[in-house]
Chain A
Amino acid sequence: LAKTTQPISMDSYEGQEVNITCSHNNIATNDYITWYQQFPSQGPRFIIQGYKTKVTNEVASLFIPADRKSSTLSLPRVSLSDTAVYYCLVGAIWGMNRDDKIIFGKGTRLHILP
């Protein structure tokens, strides 16, 4: 399993764009990258997932360079409600490694200030 490294915490202000970078130097060919968001006392919620280049949805964008050793979650124009913990995970594409399991790290605690 590829280990991930993220900043422990980040602060930003409402209306700003926030970028959270995750390092995964030993990512495998079959691994994809997924980000989850967790509010206090709630289970994590899927945000975005990608394998290479750029992925965008209604919530965020995910940038993955060609070497795939890192990825950046971009949250446009954050609000106070984006205050949460954000987890970066890497894992095998379904069916490629049946024994693989989804492991969470400690995540990045994002605090949005007014």
Chain B
Amino acid sequence: DADVTQTPRNRITKTGKRIMLECSQTKGHDRMYWYRQDPGLGLRLIYYSFDVKDINKGEISDGYSVSRQAQAKFSLSLESAIPNQTALYFCATSDRRGGQEELFFGEGSRLTVL
């Protein structure tokens, strides 16, 4: 079983619909992240959370919201989806080792907004 699990893996929806992407982890990490990837643009940070009570905006948070329901769960919502939110979304957790930080990614959620 994957340590970082994203659901759904694929979703097609229509403009204006509310969408939630869920992420759960079994690694016991405090830090969790949501990234978006578009072809040729690398990964862009949407939101990140250092613990259950600490949520922060990333590079491109407009049009998105998040909820950290528990240490293990971090959900990303699109309140009213639009076509330019069509992308591959990744959830990640991070851990520190010797004072440094390593990211662990889920398998991604591919979202298509028509």
Q: Among the listed A51, A87, A95, A102, which residue makes an inter-chain contact with B33, where contact means beta carbons less than 8 Å apart?
A: A102
How distant is the Cα of A38 from the Cα of B56 in the complex, in angstroms?
A: 25
Q: Is the CB of B48 within 8 A of A91?
A: no
Would you call A102 and B108 a contact (CB within 8 A)?
A: no
Among A10-18, A40-48, A59-67, the stretch in contact with B: A40-48
B88 touches A41 (CB 8 A): yes
| Listed stretches A19-27, A74-82, A103-111; interface member | A103-111
Question: Cβ of A49 and Cβ of B102 under 8 Å apart?
Answer: yes
Chain A residue contacts of B99, Cβ below 8 A: 93-95
In Å, the complex CA distance between A49 and B94 comes to: 14
Task: Report how many residues on chain A are interfacial, defined by Cβ distance under 8 Å.
Answer: 26
B43 touches A104 (CB 8 A): yes
B57 to chain A, nearest CB (A): 10
Q: Write out, one digit per residue, whether chain B residues 49-63 have a CB within 8 A of any chain A CB (1) or not (0).
A: 010000010110000
Max chain A Cβ within 10 angstroms of own Cβ: one of B43, B90, B103:
B43
Task: Pull 22 A–B residue pairs with CB atoms less than 8 Å apart, ordered by A.
Answer: A41-B108, A41-B110, A43-B90, A43-B92, A43-B105, A44-B103, A44-B105, A46-B102, A46-B103, A51-B100, A87-B43, A93-B99, A93-B100, A94-B96, A94-B100, A99-B56, A101-B33, A101-B56, A102-B45, A103-B59, A104-B45, A106-B40
List the interface of chain B (C-beta within 8 A of A): 4, 33, 35, 40-45, 48, 50, 56, 58-59, 88, 90, 92, 94, 96, 99-108, 110
Given A95-B99, A101-B45, A104-B44, 4 extra CB contacts under 8 A: A46-B102, A87-B43, A93-B99, A102-B45
